[in-house]
A and B are shown apart, each in its own frame.
Chain A
Amino acid sequence: MGKLKDRALQREKDLSEGKRPSLILKDADPIKWEVLYTRLLGIVQEGRETARLISASPTVREFGECVFCVFTPEGEVVAFSRGILLHFASFTATIKWMLKNNYEDDPGIKEGDLFCNNDPQIGGAHSADVATLMPIFRKGELVAWVGGLTHVMEVGGTEPGGTPPSALSRYDDGLMVTAQKVGENDKYFRDYHIMVSRNTRDGKWWIIDDLAKLGGMIKMKKALLDVIEEYGIDYYEKATYEMIEEGRRFAVSKIKTVLFPGTYRTAGFYDVLNSEQPVRFQKDHYMHFPLEMTVTKNGEMFLNYDGLSSPGYHANNASLICATGLHIYQLLQEVLYDGMFNAGLVQALKLNIPENTVLNPGIQYACSCWVSAMVAAGSCFQRALSRAYYAKGFREEGLSGKAITASVFAGGVNENDSLFSIVNFEMNCSGAAASSNKDGLDSANSVWNPEVNLSDCEPFEPLWPLKWLGRGVQTDGGGFGKHRGGASISSLYVIEPPVKFIESGCYMSGDRVFASAGTMGGYPAPARYRYTLVDTNFAEAAALKQPLPHEEGDPANPDFARLLKGTLKRGSGQSASVQFKQYDLIYHASGGGGGWGDPLERSPNTVIREVNEGLTTITTAENVYGVAAANTPGNGHWTLDEGKTSALRNEMRKKRLKKALSSKAYMKKERKNLLEGKLAPIVKEMYNDSFKKSARFLDEFKQFWGLPDQFSGF
């Protein structure tokens, strides 16, 4: 058994028994201690920025889809850079897995080694997130690990772009490198990169990202060893464990201060519409995320997903490591943002995600499009946290339901007979959720990376034949409310030039269901979809200088169908790859954030301003916000009619009470429907699955609706 493995097991045992270090070094000289932490933060940030400068991938360079970190010898996070914070748990899990599987003996862990992992079940999210780990030795002793991860644009799998929505099992997800030694002496093995080249459509993205990571990590290694030399190894080691303990103490203290103790419940949902996709198991799936969050007066937090749906043969499962990372990252971003982002946070959060569920699936399940699952879970957690903040009086914090994010990808053979494979992350710039005092920002939020960047169009246009006809913020694109959710980004592409072959698809749930819920009277963000217009007269219309579409316009009668001839199809927000040709059009929009509060309490002046800015339609202003406006003849400018607005809102409130039922009457009607089995088959399937997963959910369901004792499912 390896020395490190023993040490890791002892550390786990100590923590489980509550044996934690005192903050002796911090108390003795807090400035020296804090400066060390700041230097470590500088090291990880330098690694990230170095990699961004080296990488030629626009995903890394433009979007910033990468993260770098320093770990203890046992794999606990000491310092984490900005970037894909979702991967907080990924590296740790990989290091622990290697130690547990006796890597110290075989294949050995020595100075200059490089290990690669993109296996989500070992430590990651999906195969497109490729991590490299490097052990750091000093005088023959392993004293730390450094790691780097980038999102790679092509990893093989059923479709180009690295995140295939038609993947139905792990074996469709793409090339998996499972905690494998891929280099020695700070150099990658040549045969490893040959293997990558031959098993992906365009291996350069993986390989140049590997080199970018290596460049960042070599700088980190040198800087870290310099710091250790300066502070002394004894001080460095003791101080890093103290920092982890400080992270834990801070988490407990802050939770206690800012969140009201109690039990919070939320429920999230998403759909996978594979019955209409060109996949081998054409079946729809409906996922149920019931979350119970308990906050105690002592600052403990417990998250329980009892009743969570089963995994399925579709692309939208998420690994346990990914789910763990999401909750830690979200707690950091929304509550602990002023603390130390290290392994101490993990000790402050207790998480129950049962086995054989969509957030804890078996090895055979695909995880390429894990985002749906993370948005559902993250949205539940976010809304529960918001209510806890709200009750304690911290109304400057808290957010409504998270926006779903998306990706549009394309691949094929270009006009020079070269294979191409590109994924564009602009659709990850979703609308931020609304909060109790402000609207969510438009196209400015991503579920896993708080620093994601929209990117310009220009770096992409030479790489793929999707050219932007327009890009903008979608009108009515966020959840309505007193404060509205941020609106989604939307793009309209035309296929040009005529490449030899092109296939394109996208992934994003939330079509049959609203995936981003509202809070305290706010509405959810709109459902998601994509439009395609094929066999168009685009070339002719352009040659004749006729008006061309640049945006969606009226969603029920989109501009591209109004201005051009062609066959219009409304497809699911998650659409498997299909073939396109020159002058076909694709329209896609990311998700919007959930709204907050009663829409009839929204400032009428704000509503009118946004109508004039094109962010809100006049129909929504009247029907949802109860705002009456007059159109100035000639210039199309809308002005508020205060008197009519007041009367309209009073009238709408009266109508609410007139059309609504008492809760008792509504429940009686619903109960009758349930007893008669008036539910869609997919809904019954979803309920039956959760009933089998959780006796508690079944009991509560029966109790709420007053169903007979013998009821066990539909």
Chain B
Amino acid sequence: MSTRKTEWSGDVLRDLTDGNLDLQVLLEMQQSIKEEDRFETILKVEQEKVKFPEKILVPIGEHLYVVQKGSERVVKCACGHEFGDYRQTWKLNAKVFARDTAESMEEVFRGPRKCDPSWMVLREFYCPTCAALLEVEAVPPGYPYVFDFLPELD
């Protein structure tokens, strides 16, 4: 396939990483040939946005990055909270709220829109520092945490 160097402005890429890109520009981007240097370009934009000093190796989700911390590679939230080694799921060090009753489910899904909590629960994973909702797992009771992504870094 043909590729090209990125020509998107810094503002466009910042909006893109913020999730607020203008829809017309987004459409133009979707219709354009993909750039071979997009990853490196986005890394620079992401690095400028975060307050922590460690080098970002790869973004793995909204607010979440694998970063190089000395000789270690750890998952960090944009707020700076650290979740530990990237080779295990960051969820093990998050705060968890399980919607596993009809009452707690009703706060989000009204009346017949709820699932049956004996069949499925919602696990909400929050950053312990900034309280961002990082992931919602919809799984049967007792399901192991889903390890969403183990990046190949080397």
Contacts and interface: CB of A to CB of B under 8 A. Distances in A.
B36 to A, nearest CB: 6
Interface string B19-50: 11101001001100010101101110000000
Contacts of A600: 133
Interface in B58-117: 58-62, 91-98, 107-116
A264 B149 contact: yes
B50 to A, nearest CB: 15
A638 interface: no
B3 interface: yes
A520 B134 contact: yes
Interface string A685-700: 0110000000000001
B96 A661 contact: yes
Interface stretch (A144-152, A255-263, A314-322): A255-263
Interface stretch (A52-60, A164-172, A200-208, A672-680): A672-680
B126 interface: yes
A526 B113 contact: yes
Nearest to A517: B138
B97 A660 contact: yes
Interface string A197-233: 0000000000000000000000000000000000000
A257 B119 contact: no
Contact of B109 (A253, A265, A286, A526): A526
A393 B43 contact: yes
B1 A253 contact: yes
B95 to A, nearest CB: 4
Interface string A263-279: 11111010100000000
A700 B34 contact: no
Contacts of A253: 1
A673 B132 CA distance: 28
B95 A663 contact: yes
Contacts of A296: 152
A598 to B, nearest CB: 4
A387 B94 CA distance: 19
A518 B135 CA distance: 8
B120 A656 contact: no
Contacts of B149: 262-265, 387-388, 391
Given A262-B152, A521-B133, A599-B133, 5 more contacts: A395-B21, A482-B19, A521-B135, A598-B134, A657-B131
Interface of A: 250, 253-254, 257-258, 260-267, 269, 271, 286, 288, 296-297, 338-339, 387-388, 390-397, 436-438, 476, 480, 482-483, 511-514, 517-518, 520-524, 526-527, 529, 554-557, 570, 596-601, 603, 617, 619, 623-624, 653-654, 656-657, 659-664, 666, 670, 673-674, 678-680, 682-683, 686-687, 700-701, 704-705
30 contacts: A257-B36, A262-B150, A262-B151, A266-B146, A267-B139, A269-B120, A297-B152, A338-B1, A339-B1, A387-B60, A393-B43, A394-B38, A395-B16, A395-B17, A483-B19, A512-B115, A517-B138, A521-B134, A521-B136, A527-B109, A527-B112, A555-B110, A556-B110, A556-B112, A600-B133, A617-B110, A660-B97, A662-B95, A663-B94, A679-B140
Interface of B: 1, 3, 16-17, 19-21, 23, 26, 29-30, 34, 36, 38-39, 41-43, 58-62, 91-98, 107-116, 118-120, 122, 124, 126, 128, 130-152
